[in-house]
Copies of this chain bind each other. A is one copy, B any other.
Amino acid sequence: MTQPNICPKFEKAISILSQRWTGLVIYQLLNGTQRFNEIQSAIGISGKVLSDRLKDLEQKGLVKRDVIPDTPVVIEYSLTDKGRSMEPILKTIEQWALDWMQVDETQQ
């Protein structure tokens, strides 16, 4: 047996979540529509990687990018239905974190 035997849908889902920052970006957008710099300062991601992630998430249909023709132009990011459907996943992780994670310096 050299071929993986994992459900391809599950594999795809977990490959999304296991990309660094993706979970945090979606978690952050669960709070509602936000602008680039808001997301960036909220989660402490670099502009370059946030830009990558947002493009990727948009392309995957999880995030919507809206250009508001204000002056100057404003760009708003929000979750699509598909994006919002990940809420139970993030909430389950949140609960697990509260139950099992301890924050101290001596343990990584």
What interface size band does chain A fall in? 35 or more
Q: What is the CA–CA distance of A88 and B99 in the complex, to the nearest angstrom?
A: 13
B5, B19, B93: the one contacting A89 at CB < 8 Å is: B93
Q: Return chain B residues, CB-CB under 8 Å to A4.
A: 41-44
Q: A4-B42, A19-B18, A60-B108 are in contact. Are A82 and B100 (CB under 8 A)?
A: yes
Q: Is the interface of A mostly helix, strand, loop or mixed?
A: helix
Residues of A within 8 A of B (CB): 1-14, 17-24, 27-28, 41-44, 59-60, 82, 85-86, 88-89, 92-94, 96-103, 108
- Once the chains bind, are A92 and B88 in contact (CB under 8 Å)? yes
Known interface pairs A6-B43, A89-B92, A108-B60; A97-B12 also in contact (CB < 8 Å): yes
